């Protein structure tokens, strides 16, 4: 019995190795393409912004107006700092709409407040209906040409909007732009501004710094050049209001409402005339607090993966459909086979390695070598992302921070990555079972919070 | 199974890549540490020299020599930083020293480079230093939109008749980036462009006219009225929208009459702009037509019509309240939304 099982495992491993090899080559080949693309894009971007003066935008009556939509639910710890930062943003024609959601069931919209101190600040007090509902309410109150969707706990850098609005001025085909999200944990925040940037010592937060850098400076920047950006972080994105309204706003019944909207906007641009370009602006930065506990992080990653699965399922008719150009033929297949199914493939790889060891088909030294090889290239790519960051913005400028970043890049694959595989698989499982809950996020708040209370 | 020897090779390649990455990363960090210190010292010295020049009006030869010896990037950054805070004689003095240290010559050479990124740098330097040099005018027809946009930014401070003519011609630029810079440059030139712009609008149509109308909309002078009335009947919806906005800004009886007609336009953006214009003019005789627009099939037309009624004041509010009890649920909903807005809200 054991012999026949061992034979079966051996057979599966021999036959499966070519699929695994092909997958490995395909994925890493694509990562390499993205890396080269992001390097080229960053070089071009840095040349364009060198000695750039943005006073034109600051003082022009032609600058597009922007409404910031900040949904706030369970954000008591960070809302004050975030609001201070929003009100001090260096953009001339700005309106801030905070959508405060309450648990009490009364009316969808209970009240509206406009600050007498800051006339550009509007607070919509409404019953909790989820982030998508809050953003839709904000959209209907917004009066600007562009709307900036963000999380209330996000700290946008003072010149973040000036930088993010540029693609809209450069092309009428741009429908949305996204900026870089960086991790604020460990850094010093005062009056809603990040004044001293440090790499966190907490392992979970530290590794997420590396993850975020990789996702934005490598992934999104690389896709920018290839014309395949379909993700704009829900924490910080700028949209043409008219296009969002024409598309029907955010969907309520998905946990991946930000990606869903962007993909819908992209889809509509193929189906009917109108803007459809999604641009990523690497020098426009917003800071966010990331979870420092495995419980909360697990919930977040599980939700993200459920969101991804849900969005790809909703738009499955675009997959391999030539009508949708690069998006249908390259981008969506990438998201399905590389992003969505990655945890499944990784689990299969790990399981076969364990089974191989159990049945004596592979020895320990081979298993260790296979494990290190499989994760080594990923680590090397992450290290190159750190180089991109250092060559361009070098925000982490002390030796301590550089050493810690490199350290977190090295240890990411030893436990953390396997945990994310588990969370993502859990997300997939929940998606298959039709779960659409968000799970609570807990905020610690920015440190230090030294500011008098705002009157609104 | 995958050969162990293959894994060994892959492993070695990965270790080499990782080693290379670590080497580049930390070496770059070290290089940054050294150069940033040097840059800071050079910038401090340059700021000191230029500040003395501006406050005392003099600069000695050693300081000029020190500025000349600086690395080009730091030198350019120092001059641009100080230049942005100066006008008049202060800027003249800076230009004099910039010429002495060959910064302006280098900028001119950059403007003639075959690479667009260098031409952009050259144009940025000349624009930042406000140097009146015909070489920038050549960049109005540069193949790269970023360079054309930068040249247009320069033009804002040099409004000669030739430059204005070139700017008006550039309103037809196919690149949005360049068009935005041109429109902004024309606006910064001020009243001086009103006459040529009015003449331009009289004779142009399509996209150039739309771009021109946006500039005219910000100036909103009555001399644009004939062109605005003509262009409000253009085939392109974008032109009609821009014309409607201009008419709302001009605010004459003829404008009001035309805007009221545009409330029935086939394009929803034009209808919304017309409603907005009537609200801006607080043209109460159009209140009943605006109330009709509350029943429009498009959301933003209903919204702009409701906001216009609110802007009109008592007669408009009356129509909004009537709509609450009307048979059209969409009109009632919009009226309710606008009536619920705080008193200071602009929508």
Phi/psi of residue B42, each to 5°? -65, -40
Closest CA to A275 of A247, A308, A317: A247
* Contact check, Cβ <8 Å, A369/B117: no
Contact B206, B239 (CB under 8 A): yes
Contact A391, A42 (CB under 8 A): yes
Query: Is B344's pLDDT higher than 60?
Result: no
Q: How far is B54 from chain A (nearest CA, A)?
A: 22
**Across A59-68, A88-97, A300-309, B334-343, least confident range:** B334-343
pLDDT band, very low/low/confident/very high, at A359 (cuts 50, 70, 90): confident
Tell me what pLDDT residue A69 has.
94
Closest CA to A73 of A28, A140, A133: A133
Calculate mean pLDDT across residues A86-106: 83
Tell me what pLDDT residue A454 has.
35
Sheet containing strand A66-72, edge to edge, reads: A109-114, A121-127, A94-102, A66-72, A146-150, A236-240, A174-183, A277-288, A155-156
Rounded to whole angstroms, the Cα distance separating B183 from B141 reads 16
Scan residues 237-276 of B and list those with Cβ closer than 8 Å to A.
none
* Contact check, Cβ <8 Å, B2/A17: yes
Rounded to whole angstroms, the Cα distance separating B195 from B190 reads 11
Tell whether B128 is within 8 A of chain A (Cβ).
Answer: yes
Query: Is A453's pLDDT higher than 50?
Result: no
Tell me what pLDDT residue A442 has.
58
On chain B, the residues whose CB falls within 8 A of the CB of A48 are: 117, 120, 146
The three-point CA angle A350-A354-A360 to 5° equals: 140
* Contact check, Cβ <8 Å, A62/B184: yes
How many CA atoms are closer than 13 Å to the CA of A163, on its beta-carbon side? Answer: 23
Calculate mean pLDDT across residues A426-443: 76
Higher pLDDT, B53 or A425: A425
Calculate mean pLDDT across residues A155-165: 92
Calculate mean pLDDT across residues A2-18: 72
Rg (CA), chain A: 23
Tell me what pLDDT residue A103 has.
67
Residue A448: cis peptide before it, omega within 30 degrees of 0:
yes
Pairing of strands A155-156, A94-102: unpaired
Tell me what pLDDT residue A191 has.
78
Pairing of strands A174-183, A94-102: unpaired
In angstroms, the Cα distances linking B54 to A434, A448, B51, B82, B114 are: 70, 41, 5, 10, 36
Query: Is B104's pLDDT higher than 80?
Result: yes
Higher pLDDT, B62 or A77: B62
In angstroms, the Cα distances linking A8 to A87, A344, A348, A349, B3 are: 65, 20, 15, 16, 20
| Mean model confidence pLDDT for chain A | 86
Rounded to whole angstroms, the Cα distance separating B40 from A132 reads 47
Q: pLDDT tens for residues B265-283?
A: 999 999 999 999 999 999 9
Residue A2, Cβ density class (10 Å: 0-12 exposed, 13-18 middle, ≥19 buried): exposed
Tell me what pLDDT residue A106 has.
56
Q: For chain A, what is the HEC assignment?
A: CHHHHHHHHHHHHHHHHHHHHHHHHHHHHHHHHHHHHHHHHHHHHHHHHCCCCCHHHHHCCCCCCEEEEEEECCCCCCHHHHHHHHHCCCCCCEEEEEEEEECCCCCCEEEEEECCCCCCEEEEEEECCCHHHHHHHHHHHCCCCEEEEECCCCEECCCHHHHHHHHHHHCCCEEEEEEEEEECCCCEEECCEEEECCCCCCHHHHHHHHHHHHHHHHHHHHHHHHCCCCCCCCCEEEEEHHHHHHHCCCCCCCCCHHHHHHHHHHHHHHHCCCCCEEEEEEEEEEEECCCCCHHHHHHHHHHHHHHHHHHHHHCHHHCCCHHHHHHHHHHHHHHHHHHHCHHHHHHHHHHHHHHHHHCCCCCHHHHHHHHHHHHHHHHHHHHHHHHHHHHHCCCCCCHHHHHHHHHHHHHHHHHHHHHHHHHHHHHHHHHHCCCCCCCCCCCCCCCCCCCCCCCC
Query: Is A411's pLDDT higher than 70?
Result: yes
On chain A, the residues whose CB falls within 8 A of the CB of B80 are: 51, 53
pLDDT band, very low/low/confident/very high, at A452 (cuts 50, 70, 90): very low
Interface predicted TM-score (ipTM): 0.78
**Across A269-283, A377-391, A401-415, A440-454, least confident range:** A440-454
Q: pLDDT tens for residues A269-298?
A: 999 888 889 999 999 999 999 999 999 999
**Across A376-385, B20-29, B237-246, B253-262, least confident range:** A376-385
| Mean model confidence pLDDT for chain B | 90
Interface probe, candidates A9, A373, A375, A391, chain B, greatest B C-beta count within 10 A? A373
* Contact check, Cβ <8 Å, B14/A171: no
Tell me what pLDDT residue A181 has.
95
Rounded to whole angstroms, the Cα distance separating A214 from A416 reads 15
* Contact check, Cβ <8 Å, A169/B177: yes
Tell me what pLDDT residue A346 has.
84
In angstroms, the Cα distances linking B312 to A72, A166, B324 are: 34, 35, 18
| Beta-carbon contacts of residue A317 (< 8 Å; ≥ 6 apart) | none
Contact B132, B126 (CB under 8 A): no
Closest CA to A216 of A198, A237, A192: A237
Tell whether B22 is within 8 A of chain A (Cβ).
Answer: yes
Tokens of A56: 């034109």
Q: Where are the domains of chain A?
A: 9-456
Q: pLDDT tens for residues A13-36?
A: 767 667 777 787 788 888 889 999
Tell me what pLDDT residue A228 has.
87
Q: pLDDT tens for residues A102-154?
A: 766 556 667 777 777 787 888 888 888 888 999 999 998 888 899 999 987 78
- A9-456 sits in which CATH class? alpha beta
Calculate mean pLDDT across residues B203-229: 92
Tokens of A152: 């209330």
**Across A49-53, B3-7, B222-226, least confident range:** B3-7
Task: Give the DSSP letter of residue B280.
Answer: H
């Amino acid at each position: 019995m054991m012999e026949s099982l061992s034979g079966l495992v051996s057979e599966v491993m021999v036959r499966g190795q070519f699929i695994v090899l092909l997958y490995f080559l395909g994925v890493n080949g694509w990562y390499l393409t993205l890396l080269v693309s992001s390097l080229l894009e960053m070089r071009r971007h840095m040349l364009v912004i060198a000695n750039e003066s943005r006073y034109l935008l600051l003082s022009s009556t032609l600058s597009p107006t922007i409404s910031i939509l900040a949904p706030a639910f369970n954000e008591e710890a960070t809302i004050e700092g975030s609001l201070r930062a929003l009100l001090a943003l260096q953009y001339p024609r700005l309106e801030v709409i905070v959508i405060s959601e309450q648990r009490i069931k009364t009316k969808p919209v209970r009240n509206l407040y406009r600050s007498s101190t800051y006339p550009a600040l509007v607070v919509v007090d409404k019953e909790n209906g989820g982030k998508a509902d809050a953003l839709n309410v904000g959209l209907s109150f917004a009066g600007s040409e562009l709307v900036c969707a963000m999380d209330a706990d996000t700290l946008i850098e003072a010149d973040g909007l000036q930088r993010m609005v540029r693609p809209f001025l450069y092309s009428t085909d741009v429908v949305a732009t996204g900026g870089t999200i960086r991790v604020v944990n460990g850094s010093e925040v005062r009056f809603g501004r990040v004044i001293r940037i440090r790499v966190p010592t907490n392992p979970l937060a530290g590794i997420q710094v590396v993850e975020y850098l990789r996702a934005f400076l490598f992934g999104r920047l690389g896709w920018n050049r290839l014309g395949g950006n379909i993700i704009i972080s829900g924490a910080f994105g700028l949209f043409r209001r008219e296009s969002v309204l024409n598309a029907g706003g955010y969907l309520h019944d998905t946990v991946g409402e930000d990606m869903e909207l962007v993909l819908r906007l992209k889809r509509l641009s193929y189906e009917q005339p109108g803007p459809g370009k999604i641009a990523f602006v690497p020098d426009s930065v917003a800071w966010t607090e990331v979870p420092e506990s495995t419980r909360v992080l697990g919930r977040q990653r599980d939700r993200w993966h459920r969101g991804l699965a849900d969005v790809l399922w909703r738009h499955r008719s675009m997959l391999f459909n030539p009508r949708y150009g690069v998006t249908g033929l390259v981008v969506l297949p990438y998201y399905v086979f590389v992003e969505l199914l990655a945890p499944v493939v990784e689990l299969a790889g790990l399981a076969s390695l364990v089974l191989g060891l159990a049945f004596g088909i592979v020895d320990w030294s081979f298993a260790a070598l296979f494990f290190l090889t499989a994760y080594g290239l990923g680590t090397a790519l992450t290290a190159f992302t750190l180089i991109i960051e250092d060559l361009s913005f070098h925000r982490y400028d002390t030796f301590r921070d550089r050493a810690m970043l490199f350290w977190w890049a090295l240890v990411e694959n030893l436990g953390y990555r396997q945990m994310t595989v588990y969370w993502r698989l859990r997300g997939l499982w929940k998606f298959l079972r039709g779960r659409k809950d968000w799970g609570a996020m807990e905020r610690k708040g920015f440190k230090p919070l030294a500011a008098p209370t705002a009157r609104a | 199974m995958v050969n162990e020897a293959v894994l060994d090779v892959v492993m070695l390649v990965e270790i080499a890549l990782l080693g290379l990455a670590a080497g580049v990363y930390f070496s770059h960090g070290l290089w940054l540490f050294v150069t940033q210190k040097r840059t800071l010292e050079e910038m401090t010295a340059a700021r000191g020299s230029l500040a003395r020049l501006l406050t005392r009006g003099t600069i000695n030869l050693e300081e000029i020599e020190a500025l000349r010896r600086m690395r080009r990037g730091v030198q350019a950054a120092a001059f641009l930083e100080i230049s942005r805070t100066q006008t008049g004689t202060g800027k003249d003095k800076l230009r004099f020293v910039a010429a002495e240290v060959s910064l302006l010559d280098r900028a001119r050479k950059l403007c003639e480079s075959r690479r667009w990124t260098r031409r952009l740098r050259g144009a940025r330097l000349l624009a930042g230093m406000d140097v009146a040099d015909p070489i920038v005018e050549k960049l109005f027809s540069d193949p790269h939109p970023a360079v054309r946009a930068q040249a247009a930014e320069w033009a804002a401070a040099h409004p000669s008749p030739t430059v204005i003519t070139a700017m008006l011609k550039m309103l037809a630029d196919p690149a949005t980036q360049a068009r935005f810079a041109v429109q902004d440059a024309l606006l910064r030139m001020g009243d001086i462009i009103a006459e040529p712009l009015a003449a331009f609008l009289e004779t142009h149509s399509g996209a150039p006219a739309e771009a021109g109308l946006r500039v005219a909309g910000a100036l909103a002078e009555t001399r644009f009225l004939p062109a605005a009335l003509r262009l409000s009947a253009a085939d392109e919806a974008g032109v009609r929208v821009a014309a409607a906005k201009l008419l709302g800004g001009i605010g004459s009886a003829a404008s009001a009459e035309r805007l009221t007609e545009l409330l029935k336009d086939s394009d929803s953006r034009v209808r919304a702009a017309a409603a907005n214009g009537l609200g801006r003019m607080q043209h109460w005789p159009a209140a009943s037509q605006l109330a009709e627009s509350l029943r429009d099939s498009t959301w933003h037309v209903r919204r702009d019509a409701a906001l216009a009624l609110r802007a009109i004041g008592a007669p408009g509010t009356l129509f909004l309240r009537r709509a609450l009890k009307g048979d059209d649920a969409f009109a009632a909903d919009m009226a309710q939304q606008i009536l619920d807005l705080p008193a200071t809200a602009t929508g």
